[in-house]
Amino acid sequence: MAAVNEIACKPDIVGVGPQDFSPRLSRAQSQPVSDVQNDCRNPSLRRWRVMEVVSLNGTRSRHVYGHDVTNDTGRASSAIKEFDLEAMTATTRSGRSYQLVGAPGNARSGEYAWQHWCRINGVASEVDVTNQYFSVDKLFPHKDEI
């Protein structure tokens, strides 16, 4: 739970969406877990999700959460400031750069960290916007589209 407290932020920080950086999701590449560097300041998340929240004061922001491969724990980020679809990295208000490894998914430890983050930051509502950042259909087109 210490990692969750370390990355918590105030709910009045606004993040940005993928439309602010690049409309092309087809260039998203995943990185094998074996290639992940051991860097606590720049964690690598697997089975990750991107969520848009509305705080109690009406402010919107986007955040990433998942299983932190580097520290083998659940992790939830502060608001996303920049998202690089080419490198699949999310840079947050806190200055961390989260490397998103592999496809999105559901990690119990990440979900726990996310729910804790929402409680301590006064989240009024949340929406999963992961599909705006990653599209399996774009990576593996149907036979008719080739």
Q: What is the pLDDT of residues 82-102, one digit of tens each?
A: 999 889 999 999 999 999 999
Q: What is the pLDDT of residues 8-49, one digit of tens each?
A: 333 333 333 344 333 333 333 344 443 444 456 689 999 999
Q: What is the pTM of this model?
A: 0.69
* The 3-state secondary structure of the chain, one letter per residue: CHHHHHHCCCCCCCCCCHHHCCCCCCCCCCCCHHHCCCCCCCCEEEEEEEEEEEECCCCEEEEEEEEECCCCEEEECCCEEEEECCCCEEEECCCCEEEEECCCCCCHHHHHHHHHHHHHCCEEEEEECHHHCCCHHHHCCCHHHC
Mean pLDDT value across the chain? 76
